[in-house]
Structure 1
């Protein structure tokens, strides 16, 4: 290659987690600014239809991506030290993505004009539909494979800041939901344009390459099916609610959906950086390194997930009052019912990362297909019966079922991980802290919502941390020693 390429600096897992945590924190903080504003300006009806449009379009984006978030990350991570072979693979994968996205977008247009639900909102569907191209051709998987989390974080935050400024300028009335959709597309996927422009700094594109695109089809198939089915059952509650319920019910549930996704993203800041490192360990350093890394993350996710579940159950009302206002309080029970998804989703994601890293993508695919089938049945049964509460319950039972299936399949590996964990002490400490925080909420239930959240968080953290220290939980005490 004649062109001098950049050699990305590979940071430690801790640095990557910190960067991803900053990104996830921004994903939490920015909605704290935008969601209360948009909820009050647009109201439940317009908010609901915009959220449903993004869910509907998201299904087409999933198909267009063909599972590249995992497959592309794994394949490029294996070759990150061989720039010539890496360039060939990246070029092959981009050709596949351009072809798949073209086909998917044509199908999307057919659905938009045929379905009454989408045909009634043509301008909205076309605006949101641009995210199909931006998501599929953004090559986010490449930057994750070379562990450029610093770049990913800075780029995303800058675009989010820009979208917030535009939001306050252009979204000022109830009917400004089209402007809100455009700003959201810019904030969530607009930064992917920079990804493509920056690719030439790391890889070389050339017609002289002898490309073998067909070699990706067979291994990619499992990733495609698993990614599509996983993404489908993860959002099927919102999608089917749009067909079974009114825009008002969608408006209530979209706030619950956003709060839940923000919280799930906190755990995702850990799990999403694991695939490149797990793939590297499995290929280079051996299974013992993988086991210890997984055990540390399971410990952390259990502590974090249980804490968030407590917050969602105890503080559902103040959270909804802050982020949406009194018009959305009817969604509090759905938020409480869906709280376990935060923990189940994060741990399930870690299990999935291990399956992919250890070349068990077929098994991973089967579990996701099972999840889609279970979710479809449960949502079609529960939504007509219990509305948004049924939507939340159906997804919780689906995630629990898929977690049990994965745990059974990985039972031997999970036994190895269990040697380095302390689940009993973590759950005991959480139970004590939950009771203390619940009692505190009972006493201050009529106070200002912001004050309630702060005080409940303090009570829970002190109680939980204190119990973990008293029981000498291994992971927590080891982290304290390191800080010293």
Structure 2
């Protein structure tokens, strides 16, 4: 399956995920309130540490390892079972440590126990196999089904503020059920192999080498919520959680390309075609800029009018946080290309580790300094600077092997179009009454303005994307 089809499948899934999030976030915010949302975010952030300890970078390593051997079914099967058994052992150990933690924890113990289903779900997650094979159709179909079932259950069973445990249960069981359904495809994909101990342990050190950067990434993805909960209060966690979730839901439409490109670049690199690897990098970076710049300006522009009706009473601060945190859309889009699509697939794990390690340190120090004075706004600022540091370090690491100017050739066009789009969106916010209708008008106007300006600026990427879209429409029309 080619890159375009895989990206389309992944984008379809991300769009459905975005839709589900856009529907559930305002509903849950109103039903559970900022305190309930904050407790869920706080307890889940703790659970993520146990998941991280249990998976020790195996999922990311497995994706790449499968991509290397996918042309040989015998090797593929041996690699898969070796990695899975290793993951089974490590996640079971992590769950035992969690039970020890639970025995010493009194606050939110019931919620923690329900959240632990995520650890079990992580044990049976074999999506890395299908990603390594570039078979995104299976994972997308499975996730779409699970997302819809979960959404229906939330609206049926979560009715009041005391329903926090029900919401957590539905979310966790949906995750577990989704992972288990992937096993139905396994007999057609791999053979059963009798393993030796070496077949398992040979994957330990390579996975562990990816564990360190995963720890660093987790620090500024999860630790910020944990620190905010410890140093301030659960309401502030709820404000930040909602702003961060909205921004990252939008961001997934860009980073979907990273999930598709990692196995493709790894496979190309394994064949020794380094020139093609660099070409993939240039194209992905340009595409990431093309999408992320308008998303950054767009979400910042609509935050003020969207927050009151979207999240409901008590979440006004979330609008401010969305504006502050919006630059990470561009920064993560860039670091996703440089790190996930280049440094990782070509084996530059040390460089990748250093970049995310610096980001983790920056995030931790700034959180300590800023949360005390600025609460959730301080966490948002720390997050932006952490992502900026990661991106800058990665640029330094790739400057010797690629042409930096070629990465940023068209960025000025995207920035000009995005800036004018932002100005128009802000103008509409001042002359129109607040509400869903105004937000919809802002989004539609912003989209038309951005892409129209890119046509005037003669953007090659814009021409290419709309050209592909036109070809698809013609094929569908002719088929009918």
Pairwise same-fold verdict (TM > 0.5)? yes
1:469 aligns with 2:459: no
Deviation per residue, 1:184-228 (Å, 9 max, x gap): 112334300122343232112233667433322332222111122
Provide the residue aligned with 1:270 in structure 2.
257
1:76 aligns with 2:89: no
Kept after mapping to 1: 8 A contact 2:254/2:292: yes
Provide the residue aligned with 2:88 in structure 1.
98
Provide the residue aligned with 2:474 in structure 1.
none
1:408 aligns with 2:404: no
Query: What SS is found at the alignment partner of 1:363?
Result: helix
Provide the residue aligned with 1:380 in structure 2.
368
Query: Does 385-394 or 316-325 show the bigger shift?
Result: 316-325
Q: Indicate how the Cα distance of structure 1 residues 231 and 414 shifts in structure 2: closer, same or farther if over 3 A, else same.
A: farther
Deviation of the 1:419 alpha carbon: 6.3
Query: What SS is found at the alignment partner of 2:212?
Result: helix
Provide the residue aligned with 1:63 in structure 2.
53
1:391 aligns with 2:379: yes
Kept after mapping to 2: 8 A contact 1:291/1:417: no
Provide the residue aligned with 2:15 in structure 1.
25
Provide the residue aligned with 1:453 in structure 2.
439
Provide the residue aligned with 1:479 in structure 2.
465
Alignment of 1:67-466 (within 5 A): 67-115=57-105, 119-207=106-194, 211-284=198-271, 286-353=273-340, 354-415=342-403, 418=406, 421-444=409-432, 446-447=433-434, 449-466=435-452
Kept after mapping to 1: 8 A contact 2:30/2:312: yes
Q: Indicate how the Cα distance of structure 1 residues 208 and 315 shifts in structure 2: closer, same or farther if over 3 A, else same.
A: closer
Deviation of the 1:251 alpha carbon: 2.1
Query: Does 232-241 or 138-147 show the bigger shift?
Result: 232-241
Query: Does 430-439 or 393-402 show the bigger shift?
Result: 430-439
Query: What SS is found at the alignment partner of 1:190?
Result: helix
Kept after mapping to 2: 8 A contact 1:296/1:421: no
For 2:452 and 2:155, the matched residues in 1 are separated by: 43
Deviation of the 1:109 alpha carbon: 2.1
Deviation per residue, 1:304-334 (Å, 9 max, x gap): 2111111221111333234311221122211
Deviation of the 1:71 alpha carbon: 0.7
Deviation of the 1:416 alpha carbon: 5.9
Deviation per residue, 1:370-423 (Å, 9 max, x gap): 221111111111111100100100010011011111111111344167168412
RMSD: 1.8
Instruction: Give the number of equivalent residue pairs.
Output: 469
TM-score, normalised via structure 1 length: 0.92
For 1:385 and 1:47, the matched residues in 2 are separated by: 22
Q: Indicate how the Cα distance of structure 1 residues 419 and 254 shifts in structure 2: closer, same or farther if over 3 A, else same.
A: closer
Q: Indicate how the Cα distance of structure 1 residues 208 and 97 shifts in structure 2: closer, same or farther if over 3 A, else same.
A: closer
TM-score, normalised via structure 2 length: 0.93
For 1:25 and 1:413, the matched residues in 2 are separated by: 35
Deviation per residue, 1:29-52 (Å, 9 max, x gap): 011221222111111111210121
Provide the residue aligned with 2:476 in structure 1.
none
For 1:409 and 1:419, the matched residues in 2 are separated by: 14
For 1:249 and 1:183, the matched residues in 2 are separated by: 24
Kept after mapping to 1: 8 A contact 2:7/2:256: yes
Deviation of the 1:454 alpha carbon: 1.9
Query: Does 185-194 or 64-73 show the bigger shift?
Result: 185-194
Provide the residue aligned with 2:41 in structure 1.
51
Kept after mapping to 2: 8 A contact 1:469/1:477: yes
